[in-house]
Every structure is written in C-alpha cells, then in structure tokens.
Amino acid sequence: MEFVRKLRQRQAENNPISVGIVGCGQMGSGLAHAINNVTGMAIKAIADIEPQRGINTFLEMKWAKGNIVVTESLAKAHDALNSGKVVVTADAKLLPQLDAIEANVEATGVPDVGASVAQTSIENNKPIIMLNVETDVTVGVYLNHIARKAGSVYTVASGDEPGVCKMLYEQAMLMGFEVVCLGKGKNNPLNFEATPEMCTEEALSKDMNPKILTSFIDGTKTMVEMAAVSNATGLLPDVPGMHGPKVDLGDLAKTFIPKADGGIFERRGTVDFSTGGVAPGVFAIVYAGNRRMRKDMKFLTKAGGPYYLHYRPYHLCDLETPQSVAEAVLLGEVTVTAETMHSEVVAVAKRDLKAGEKVGGIGSADIYGTIYTYEQARARKAIPVGIAANGKVTKAVKRGNILTQDNFSPDATTLVFRLRAKQDALVGAEE
C-alpha cells in the first residue's frame, strides 16, 4: 500500500508520525506497544485519568524515567516534546493542543470524554482516530460533519469490528455482490443482568476495567459495534436487539438470509451477530443473482450459492489501529464514518429504576444498550445510551423497559449531550 512506502520515507527522514493516545487501559496500552513497533510512527504522549498507566507503558517501551514528563501544563508539554522527551498527562484535552502531535487516538470508551477529545482535535486540525465506538454511535455523524467542514479527519479505527465489517462490505460491493448481512461473533451469551461487581474478578485477570467487561457481557458493546456498521453502510437491524442466534460457521450462509429462503430475516440488508463458534471473526453474507457469477463462485470456492459467506476469522483491535493512523495522516482518508443515522443504541433499564435515581452509564449496574433502527428509536422518544450517564429517572422504569424522554432526563451539562442536540438538528434538517 502507498502509506507503507510513505512511512518508510518518514522513518528514513527521522520524522516518524507522532501519535497521542487518550486512554491507557487494555486497548490504549496495547496500541502504544503496537505503534512502537511500526516503522515511521512514534508514541509521543499518553493521557489517562491515572497517569501511572502512561508512565508504566513508556517504561515498558524502554523509555528512561527521566525522559517521561508528567504534566498538565501546555507549555511544559511543548518543551518536553521539543527536547525529545515524551509526555504523560491526566488532561485528555491537552494532547490535541500539542503542536508536536500529528494525530490522536481516543481509546477511553467513555462517550463524553471521546466527544471532548474529538472536538478539540478537529478544532486543532488534527486527525482523530476513534477506538471509542461508544462516542461514534452517539455523536459521530456530527463530529464527522464538522471535521469535513474544517478539512480535518474523523474516523473510527481499523481493527475493531466496524472497521473490519466495512472492509468486507466494500470488497463485496466491488465484486458485484449484494450484501445481505454483516455480522460478528460474540464470544459469550448475552446476560442483560451483568454488573461490574459480577465481572470484577474476570476483568482484573484480563487487565480490563470491570465496566468495560460488563458492557461486553450485557451486549451493549455488540449493539454499539453493529450500530456503527449500520450507520456507515445503511444496513439495518432486522428486529430490535438483532437476532443473535447460536450458529456455527458452516451454517451462517443458511441462517443469516431472508425467511423466504430458509433464513431468519424479514428484510434484506441487515446487521446481526452470532453466539456460535464465530468469534473473534466477522462475516458478510452476500448474494449473487448473476448466473455467471454463481458459476465462477462454484469454480473458485465450490460453494453452490446463491448466498455465500465471506469470513475473516479475526479482528485485531488495537493492533490494526496504526493502519487508520497512517491512512488519516498520510492520505487524509477515513476507515469508518457515518454521514447520517440509520441505527440507534438506546438505553434499557437493567433493574427496576425508581423516580429520582441517577443512573450510571455504559457498563453500569443500571442500564444496557439495545440497537433499534433510528426511526424506531425516534418514534419511541428513546434515550441514546451514550447520553444516559448521570441522568435522572423522572418516572419509575421497570427492568427491561426503554428509557425515554417521558421517564428520564439526561445530564444536560455534558458536552456529549450538547453535541447530540446539534446532531439531531443536523440529521433532522437532512430529512
């Protein structure tokens, strides 16, 4: 690829792409190590609410302690970078303001933090690469809109399911197939009642935040990922929450197809997931109506069709993110973005919620996320899961019911809430 040659050139000129990472948990620290091994890139700054994580990561990458500057001062950070040192800070918004940083990767998984870092990066004309899909499905349309107006780049990262699904989608379209379904494997059954307390031991054993693990187990993460795929491609969930059947690899092309042909879908062009033996892979079910294409597929793959499985048996998360960094900085290209809303992840009560209670956000013991089409969510006046944190219940909500404008009031002081209001106006003006 062209950017590989350009990266080698940057390395030869002793001018590697300087990258900042916001959020140094499992994904952020893994990304730092990956970039540290990429020719033509270098991690120059890490922001985390617990700065010691950033310090530890730089130490693991063989930086001398005396060359790691911990500061929340813009001037001191500038001086450190200009003198060949690296920066660790607790201030997430510091990184987008540093002249020596060319691009930032947001990896916190917190919608409000992601919105703040992305907006500040765009205002400073720096590409922003999101490993924070939670922010993207909440306000990504608006962030992409202002980035394009500013001549900057906003994109979801390669390696996460949305990026890999989008790759399969584009490949299929460029071969002349109809994409019937894009999907992912979920490596555990859904448990809508999962709480951080229940997940603490497993999370710590995997160096994960218990809330992050909870969001995987209760299905929110799957809903978020496939909503990002939906918004980027126009494919829709067939039913609220998707079907999510337990199907193994060999039966995907028999199951994730229209009911008229023996499958599970009422519509063509869907997003969904399986709890069978598919994870950590992603898949596309494609259709060939052309007889010559079917003949070629029979010869090339031995598959009879007319539905075919395109399968990638892995997605490598943070390890693949450097590709998005290179594309954004060197080519001005995006990996995954959305220009409008096709799907929404709405907040659902994980337990009985009483009037007057404040709720936690994604991965809490209070709510989980479920995907709906955007039209369905609007008709129900549903609350997007990305703006639910710290909001107040105004009328009792039974477990399993949706939070709506009639029973819930989001925290209007957050940036993500304000940006969401602007996005709603933008999308409404386009309809």
Quick check: is 323 in a domain?
Answer: yes
Same-domain status, 293 and 374: no
Q: According to the model, what pLDDT value does residue 255 have?
A: 98
> Which residues form the domain of 382?
343-430
Peptide bond into 306 cis (omega under 30): yes
Task: For 384, list phi and psi in degrees, rounded to 5.
Answer: -60, 135
Choosing from 272, 298, 331, the residue where a domain stops is 331
Same-domain status, 309 and 324: no
Same-domain status, 129 and 239: no
Same-domain status, 196 and 310: yes
Quick check: is 337 in a domain?
Answer: no
**Domain containing 387 — which CATH number?**
3.90.1210.10
Quick check: is 284 in a domain?
Answer: yes
Q: What angle do CA 387, 389, 394 make, to 5 degrees?
A: 90
Task: For 68, list phi and psi in degrees, rounded to 5.
Answer: -110, 110
Quick check: is 338 in a domain?
Answer: no
β-partners of residue 286 are 179, 308
Quick check: is 232 in a domain?
Answer: yes
What pLDDT digit, counting tens, does each position of 294-344 carry? 999 999 999 999 999 999 999 999 999 999 999 999 999 999 999 999 999
Same-domain status, 199 and 293: yes
Task: For 287, list phi and psi in degrees, rounded to 5.
Answer: -125, 140
Same-domain status, 96 and 188: no
Q: What angle do CA 90, 92, 94 make, to 5 degrees?
A: 95
Which residues make Cβ contacts (< 8 Å) with residue 66, sequence separation at least 6?
none
Q: According to the model, what pLDDT value does residue 88 have?
A: 98
Same-domain status, 310 and 166: yes
Domain count along the chain:
3
Quick check: is 336 in a domain?
Answer: no
What pLDDT digit, counting tens, does each position of 225-270 carry? 999 999 999 999 999 999 999 999 999 999 999 999 999 999 999 9
CA distance 122 to 167: 25
Same-domain status, 65 and 117: yes
Q: According to the model, what pLDDT value does residue 1 have?
A: 62
Give which of 166, 309, 146 is closest to 228, Cα–Cα.
166
Same-domain status, 308 and 389: no
Residue found by looking up tokens 């001086």 in the block:
79
- Does the reported pTM lie above 0.75? yes
Same-domain status, 192 and 154: no
Quick check: is 151 in a domain?
Answer: yes
Low-confidence ranges of the chain (pLDDT < 70): 1, 431
How distant is the alpha carbon of residue 171 from its chain centre? Answer: 21
Same-domain status, 155 and 166: no
Same-domain status, 118 and 169: no
